[in-house]
Amino acid sequence: MDSPDVVSLIEGLDHPEGVAWGRDGCLYAGGEAGQLYRVDIDTLVVDQFATTGGFILGIALDADSTVFACDSKRKAVMRVGKDGRASIYSSGSADRTMTTPNFPVFASSGLMYVSDSGTWEGDDGCIYAINPSGEAEVWSEEICGFPNGLALDAGEDYLYVAESTGRCVSRLPILSDGRAGPRELVVELRGTVPDGLAFDAEGGLLVSCYRPDRIYRFLPSGDLTVLAEDPDGTSLAAPTNVCFGGNDLARLFSANLGRWHISEVSVPFSGAPLKYPSLPGVRNV
C-alpha cells in the first residue's frame, strides 16, 4: 500500500494524548491540563466542554457519550458527562490504588479494562477490570512493563496490550469465567515505544508509537508494515493514540502528544466497531 496522506485536522489543542470516536458522531480528545475536547469533524468546531484539572491520557465512551478518561495526575478514571461535570469512576481496587491509569476499553457487557502503566521501567503495571457499578479488581499483573494502549478483538476473546517498555504488543486470553489467561506475545517492535492500539475491519491491528513518530499495521497473516511515519515529527508528532470515526468508520484520526493537533490519515480500510455499553447503574464516588 502506498504511503497515506497525513493532514492536520484540528489545531490548537493542548498536547492531546487520547482520541476516541463517540456514538453521537463527534470526535473526543483530552489535554495535558485535564481538558476534554469535543470536535465536529464536518464543521471543525471544537468545544472544550470540561476539565478535570489533571492530565488526560486514554479515553472511552459509553452509549450516552459519557466520557471515561484516564487521568494520570488524579490517578483515577474520571467520568465526565455531556454537561461537563466530572467525578471519579474508579481509583483502583480495595487492595491496590491506581498509579498511572493510561487507557480504558469497554467490553459489550459494560465491563471496562484499564491499563495502569505503573512507573517507567519499574515493571509494576497491571490491568484492572471495572464492573458497571465502578467496582474494580486487579485483573492481571502478568503484563507489567508499562502496559499502555488496549484493544479487544471482535469476538472479545483477547485483550491486546501495547507494552511500552517491553517494545511489543501482547495479548491476554479472556477465559470463560472472565479471568485472564497467560500472556501471549503478538509482535515485537524493537527500537520503538508502542502506545496506542486499534483494530480495523479487516482484522489488522494498528499500533501507534510515542517513539518514533510512526503507526504500524499488523495483519492476521503476521505481516507487519509501516502504515504512516513522519521523520520530521510535525504532521505526526508522538502519535500516542489512534481511532476510526466518521461515516462507516472510514476515517482514521491520530492524537499528537508532541504538538497541538489531531491528524487525519487517509487509509483504504475502515475501523472495527467499538462497544458502547449502557451503564444505568454507574456509581460516582
CA distance 14 to 29: 10
The C-alpha cell at 177 is 469465567
CB-based contact 195:206 (threshold 8 Å):
no
- Average pLDDT for 114-118: 98
Tell me whether residue 270 is exposed, middle or buried, using C-beta atoms within 10 angstroms of its C-beta: 0 to 12, 13 to 18, 19 or more.
middle
Computed over every residue of the chain, the mean pLDDT equals 96
- Average pLDDT for 96-102: 98
- Predicted TM-score (pTM) of this structure: 0.96
Chosen CATH of 6-265 out of 3.30.70.141, 3.30.930.10, 2.120.10.30, 3.40.50.1860:
2.120.10.30
Q: Read off the pLDDT band of 16 (50, 70, 90).
A: very high
pLDDT of 284: 40
**How is the chain split into domains, by residue range?**
6-265
DSSP state of 87: E
76 Cβ contact list (under 8 Å, min separation 6): 88, 89, 90, 91, 92, 98, 101
